[in-house]
A and B are shown apart, each in its own frame.
Chain A
Amino acid sequence: MPELKLDRVTKQFQNKIAVDQVSLTLKEGIYGFLGANGAGKTTLLRMLCGVLKPTSGEILCNGTEIRKMDGEFRHILGYLPQDFGYYPDFSAKRYLEYLAACKAVPKDLAEQKVQEVLQLVGLLGVQKQKIKTFSGGMIRRMGIAQALLNDPEILLLDEPTSGLDPKERIRFRNIISAMSKDRIVILSTHIVSDVEFIADEILLMKQGQIVEQGTSYEVTESVKGKVWECLVLPKEVQRLNEMYSVSNLRNEKDKVYLRIVSDDSPWEGAVQAEPRLEDVYLYYFKEAAENVENLA
């Protein structure tokens, strides 16, 4: 069973610190890295899979630096990049066979594994079609399939459900849950529902640092007392929207229901509500959301 240890891992690109002194120990289970765009999740994942070299700090797998392990580490690794590449003229089957060969899956086993993963992601019926004919969701599913080919002990998935419809997302979650035993699975996403139901531990990442970590319950408890529900007049909605992070807005007859994330009560008569993971996201990443709005 593998153990990954990050010791003050930092990555700096010219003037920007993308990952800042991150220290973690990861054992068997599913870890959800949650954060806004630009938080450093992808950079961290790229360092974990050995694509990027840390500026400082080290990443150890079972006590050995992963770059020193070289092929031994890549042998147990499965990775789905955020920007997943493929050869468009290859069929799905040929592409997976190619990757199986590159992942040192024995030939006699490769054919079977390819069929297995294609079935797992629901692409068995289109295995002979060229990838260039696939939709975005199908390509993403093929990306998930290739990550599983070598039965990896460490599985890194960057934005794995991007482009998938709800049914496919649920299917993906079930696949990952089923295979998390004796494995380290790391999901990097900004979609809360990807990790809410399956992650053993959630790590919130902001500006290159881990700002909060724990089980889903522990993380949501961290914003207990900071989630409010209130009914307001329609004319107040815009003002409140500008002042606070509104996680839900719903019209109800002649009033508007608002669910607001705030340290203090935003409205007279507002009542505290049980926090959800989405509220946690809004609480920690509201500046990121505001910056995006300002740029727009």
Chain B
Amino acid sequence: MNSRKEVISGFEIEASWRFELDESRKEEGLAEIAQAVKKKKIRYYPSFGACILEQMRYQTWQNRLIQGGILLLALALCLALKKSKLEDVESIVLGSAFMAFAANICLSGVGSLFSRNMAELEQTLYFNLKQMVCIQILQAGILDGFILALFVIFYGDRAMGGTGAYLLYIIVPFLWSDIIYLHLLASMRAGGRTKGLESGMRGFTTGVICGMAAIFPAFLENAYAVIYLPAWGIAALAGIVVLCLEVRRLFGKIEGGEGLCLN
């Protein structure tokens, strides 16, 4: 090795000089580091999007069938309405009743999370029950949005009062139907031994009841008249507020935990 002299702070020293390395201590140190690294666990943190995809991947075929079925039914109904010679009010009533029914069916995915006593275990997972409920509500919302769009596109411009009015007439029963379903869900102890079929039947039953209740305005004179649009608007606003409260209540129940456990 060529040694060269360096001048550092006025002192000339050999550039090749180094502290003698204690090889055994070096080996010890490296071994300790390797040991510590081995003990360290590298944890994977999936994104919310990745979690959503995984949730959708593991949906049961029954859920997918129901969702696909309700979408097709909505399409069929819209096409039929478009071709039909039904009175304006009758078309609105049909649309409202269907939206109220569909709202419950689309939300039954949320209900299934609380069946089979899975809720307690799912709440302890990294991707936990609250997040699963969020995704199911989002999914239901997207599906409902599609169905709503179908009705508005196919029939909205023919309704008296225009598209906006038609949207109000069918969104109000839809909102309150969702509220009733979520209220019942938050009020009951998590499924326990409730089978998935029973959970689905619950959604179907409340859907039918809400659908029938959605017909009620048709018995009131001029309920769909333009003059009463502000009332529908208030009902829609109130529905949005109460729906938010019900979702909050459901999350509160999950957070508290007592309703998730079988006993």
Binding site for B on A (CB under 8 A): 13, 46, 49-53, 71, 74-75, 77, 79, 81, 83-89, 94, 97-99, 101-106, 146, 150-151, 153, 182
Taking CB atoms, residues of chain B closer than 8 Å to A153 are: 41
Contact (Cβ within 8 A) A88 B39? no
Determine the residue in chain B with the shortest Cβ distance to A99: B125
B124 touches A84 (CB 8 A): no
Given A52-B257, A182-B39, residue A150 in contact with residue B126 (CB < 8 A): yes
Distance between Cα atoms of A83 and B45 in the complex (Å): 28
Contact flag A51-B261 (CB < 8 Å), given A84-B121, A106-B44, A151-B41:
yes
Chain B residue numbers with a CB within 8 Å of A53 are 255-257
| B60 in contact (CB, < 8 A) | yes
Bound form: Cα–Cα A98–B60 in Å: 11
B120: contacting residue among A85, A102, A105, CB under 8 A: A85
B196: chain A residues at CB < 8 Å are 87-89
> Cβ of A85 and Cβ of B116 under 8 Å apart?
yes
Q: What 9 A-B pairs have minimum CB-CB distances, sorted nearest first?
A: A85-B117, A85-B118, A52-B257, A101-B54, A102-B125, A83-B262, A104-B126, A79-B124, A106-B44
**Quick one: which of B51, B60, B120, B126 contacts A83, CB cutoff 8 A?**
B120
Contact A84 B44 (CB under 8 A): no
Contact partner, B126, options A75, A97, A98, Cβ 8 Å: A75
B99 to chain A, nearest CB (A): 30
What is the bound-complex CA distance between A153 and B40, given in angstroms? 12
Chain A CB within 8 A of B24 CB: no
Alpha-carbon distance between A84 and B262 when the two chains are bound, in angstroms = 10
Report Cα–Cα, A53/B253, bound state, in Å.
Answer: 11
- Min distance, Cβ A112 to any Cβ of chain B, angstroms: 14
Kindly state the separation between the CA atoms of A146 and B121 in the bound complex, as whole angstroms.
Answer: 10
Contacts of A106 in B (CB 8 A): 44
**A104 to B257, Cβ gap below 8 A?**
no
Residues of A within 8 A of B123 (CB): 50-51
Give the contacts of B170-205 with A (CB-CB under 8 A).
Answer: 192, 196
Q: Closest A-chain residue to B45, C-beta based? A: A104
Smallest beta-carbon distance B35→chain A, Å? 12
Give residues in B with beta carbon < 8 Å to A: 39, 41, 43-46, 51, 54, 57-58, 60, 116-128, 192, 196, 255-258, 260-263
A-B contact count (CB 8 A): 93
Bound state CA distance, A150 and B44, in angstroms? 10
A86 to B123, CA, bound (A): 14
CB distance from B52 to the nearest CB of A (A): 11
Inter-chain contacts of A94 with B (CB < 8 A) = 58
- CB pair A105–B44 under 8 Å, yes or no, is yes
Residue in A closest to B263 when the chains form the complex, CB atoms:
A83
CB distance from A207 to the nearest CB of B (A): 17
Find out whether the CB atom of A84 lies under 8 angstroms from the CB atom of B117. Answer: yes
> How far is it, in angstroms, between the C-alpha of A13 and the C-alpha of B255 when the chains are bound?
15
In this complex, the member of A13, A104, A106, A150 whose beta carbon has the largest number of chain B beta carbons within 10 angstroms is A104
Instruction: Apart from A46-B261, A74-B125, A85-B117, list 12 A-B contacts with CB within 8 A.
Output: A46-B257, A50-B123, A74-B128, A75-B126, A79-B121, A85-B118, A101-B51, A103-B125, A104-B43, A104-B46, A104-B126, A146-B121
Expressed in whole angstroms, the minimum distance between the Cβ of A190 and any Cβ of chain B is 15
How far is A52 from B41 in the complex, measured between Cα atoms in Å? Answer: 28
- Chain A nearest CB from B65 CB (Å) reads 13
B54 neighbours in A (Cβ, 8 Å):
101-102
Among A49, A51, A71, A146, max chain B CB count under 10 A is at A51
B196 to chain A, nearest CB (A): 7
Contact A98 B124 (CB under 8 A): no
Tell me which residues across on chain B come within 8 A of A98, comparing CB atoms: 58
- Contacts of A89 on B, CB cut-off 8 Å? 60, 196
User: Which of A85, A89, A99, A182 has the most CB atoms of chain B within a 10 A radius of its CB?
Assistant: A85
**Cα A71 to Cα B125 with chains together (Å):** 8
Point out the residues of chain B lying under 8 angstroms from A146, CB to CB: 121
Give CA–CA (A264, B117) in the complex, Å: 47
Please indicate the chain A residues that have their CB under 8 angstroms from the CB of B125 in the complex.
74, 99, 102-103
* Contact of A51 with B120 in the complex, beta carbons under 8 Å: yes
Q: Is there contact, CB below 8 Å, between A86 and B118?
A: yes
